[in-house]
Amino acid sequence: MSTAKPAPAEEYVRTATGRAYYAAFLVARERLRTIGHHLPRDRSVHRYVIERLRRGGDQVIRGLGQNLCDLYEHRKDADYELAGRYRSHLAFSPAHGVLMATSAELWINTFSSFTDPALVTACPP
């Protein structure tokens, strides 16, 4: 068993991965709350938000739900796994951190383009 310390870059990438997920999740959570969803007050809120989007009545919303689920899985890997989702030593490379941040930014921009009425239609409370 190696006791080698991970490169500092990996630590930053792991943190950035978590922040990327939470940036997107918090936007989605608050938008669903705004349009009338009664959200769980425990950790099941993550699954609730993801599943409401994945089962939405709009193809783009369903895709956003899957993308949010993917970000969630990457966040869990960043927090709990040594090698990441694909058990690759590249899973937490600086490029991975950039990809996660860019993915979250694109996710937020796309999700935010939905008006409240359109979101209600796609994900009724």
Tokens 């090698």 belong to 83
**Confidence class for position 4, pLDDT limits 50, 70, 90:** low
Candidates 61, 75, 92; CA nearest to 20 is 75
Domain ranges in the chain?
8-122
Q: In this predicted model, what pLDDT tens digit does every residue of 65-116 receive, in sequence order?
A: 999 999 999 888 888 877 655 555 566 777 777 888 889 999 999 999 999 9
Question: Cβ distance 48 to 125 under 8 Å?
Answer: no
Euclidean distance between CA atoms 23 and 30, whole angstroms: 11
pTM listed for this prediction:
0.84
Burial 102-122 (b: 16+ CB within 10 A, else e): ebbeebbeebeebeeeebbeb
